[in-house]
Amino acid sequence: MNMQTLILMGHTTKDAESISSKKKTKFTKFSIAVNDFNSKTKEEKSSFYDVLVFGKQAEVAFEKIKKGDTVMVVGKPETDAYISKITNEPKAQVTVTADSWRVLK
């Protein structure tokens, strides 16, 4: 059996949005920026993740998650590869389906 779980803590980049799929499944989507500091080079790098919340927690997430909140997310990552329309270079976007999440104060 294989298992992949990702734990992230970062700041939301905008308010959470409520979305309905073509099959009428409701879910909440938000994005977080996770900063990493390299002490040797003194550089900070940001990585961005889209987060999807389904089920009963989706409505709560939509109501509570606002731009700039510090959020911790535990979930399953999925990577989508694509070619940038602007630079014509390969890119990747990681989307996390949240098993749990929490707004930290």
pLDDT tens digits for 15-64? 999 998 888 889 999 999 999 988 888 889 999 999 999 999 999 999 99
Looking at domain 6-104, its CATH architecture is Beta Barrel (2.40)
For residue 10, give the amino acid letter: G
Give the domain ranges of the chain: 6-104
Q: Which two tokens stand for residue 74?
A: 């535990």
The model's pTM is 0.86
pLDDT tens digits for 62-90? 999 999 999 999 999 999 999 999 999 99
